[in-house]
Amino acid sequence: MLTKRIIPCLDIKDGRTVKGVNFENIRDAGDPIELGALYAEQGADELVFLDITATNERRKTLSELVTKIARHVNIPFTVGGGISSVEDVSVLLNAGADKVSVNTAAFKNPQLLNDLSREFGSQCIVLAIDTRFEDGDWFVYLNGGRVKTDILTTDWAKEAVDRGAGEILLTSMNNDGTKQGFALDITGRLSQNLHVPVIASGGAGTMEHFADVFEKAGADAALAASIFHYKEMEIQELKTYLYKRGVQIRF
């Protein structure tokens, strides 16, 4: 059976992880390579590295970092943050990334998804959507959640999949940072209506939240950052819990 995936997300700035506390078994929790390798060892199924660097040198720094990660980490990983062209994606995949995630640039230029999937295959193109519930429905937000659009998340996700997105990484801004659980409603709506995997993000606080998003919303994967970085939850402990609940998990 195909298993549900647990995905730690690491924010990167100038080649360093932004969040992260002192892990006893690694020398430098700010080193994305060490932290990534540690998560892999602890049973993470995939990793996401989100680059939030804003400087002009970011592209070169990022591709060098990606190569270092690919050398050391023996599970698949996705790289995202500010990717806006076929050239950007080509550089990152050639550097050793397994997948890339695109967000604002794809919304502004949806043809990018067609171009990327034709060039590299849908399986490595993840569409990230930041969404917020207001006025009775879920809307797409851009630029890291700073810019509202009047487009429904369900509509954009469907169009994106038709254009070639191979996975949807859905972050609920209402839930993100609350530790009150994932947005089951919109995650479930996407998961049940799209023929590509949906990765739920935002709101993980307890192990039950993960079980809920898999069992009730049918998510294919769940992503979290701070609960892993601040060691509020160990991946192995989470997987044991899910396994005992009967969730299909790599164990």
Question: What's phi and psi for 212, nearest 5 deg?
Answer: -60, -45
Query: Cβ of residue 136: shortest distance to another protein, in angstroms?
Result: 26
| Residue 250 interacting with another protein (CB under 8 A) | yes
DSSP class of residue 123 equals G
Dihedral sign computed on CA atoms, order 201, 205, 210, 212: negative
Residue with token string 């038709």: 162
Kindly tell me which residue out of 3, 84, 154, 240 binds another protein, with binding defined by CB under 8 A.
3
DSSP class of residue 81 equals S
Residues touching another protein, count (CB under 8 A):
31
Query: Cβ of residue 194: shortest distance to another protein, in angstroms?
Result: 8
Of 211-240, binders to another protein (CB under 8 A) are 220-221
Region binding another protein by CB under 8 A among candidate stretches 53-61, 66-74, 107-115, 222-230: 66-74
Kindly tell me which residue out of 30, 76, 110, 144 binds another protein, with binding defined by CB under 8 A.
76
CA–CA separation, 15 and 17 (whole Å): 7
Kindly tell me which residue out of 26, 75, 152, 207 binds another protein, with binding defined by CB under 8 A.
75
Per-residue CA distances from 27 to 5, 12, 30, 235 (Å): 27, 17, 9, 20
CA–CA separation, 25 and 12 (whole Å): 20
Kindly tell me which residue out of 70, 105, 151, 152 binds another protein, with binding defined by CB under 8 A.
70
Query: Cβ of residue 76: shortest distance to another protein, in angstroms?
Result: 5
Kindly tell me which residue out of 143, 149, 180, 192 binds another protein, with binding defined by CB under 8 A.
192
| Residue 2 interacting with another protein (CB under 8 A) | yes
* Residues acting as catalytic residues: 11, 130
- In a 13 Å sphere around the CA of 27, the CA atoms on its Cβ side amount to 1
Of 105-164, binders to another protein (CB under 8 A) are 121-124
CA–CA separation, 48 and 219 (whole Å): 17
- How many CB atoms sit inside 10 A of residue 32's CB? 26
CA–CA separation, 50 and 99 (whole Å): 12
Q: Which is nearer to another protein, 112 or 221 (CB)?
A: 221
Query: Cβ of residue 198: shortest distance to another protein, in angstroms?
Result: 9
| Residue 247 interacting with another protein (CB under 8 A) | no
Query: Cβ of residue 93: shortest distance to another protein, in angstroms?
Result: 9
Instruction: Taking each helix axis as running N to C, give the angle between helix 32-42 and helix 235-244, from 0 to 180 degrees, rounded to the nearest 10.
Output: 30
Under DSSP, is residue 20 helix (H, G, I), strand (E, B) or coil? coil
Q: Which residues would be at the binding site for another protein (CB under 8 A)?
A: 1-3, 5, 40, 45, 70-72, 74-76, 94-96, 98, 121-124, 166-167, 192, 194-197, 220-221, 250-251
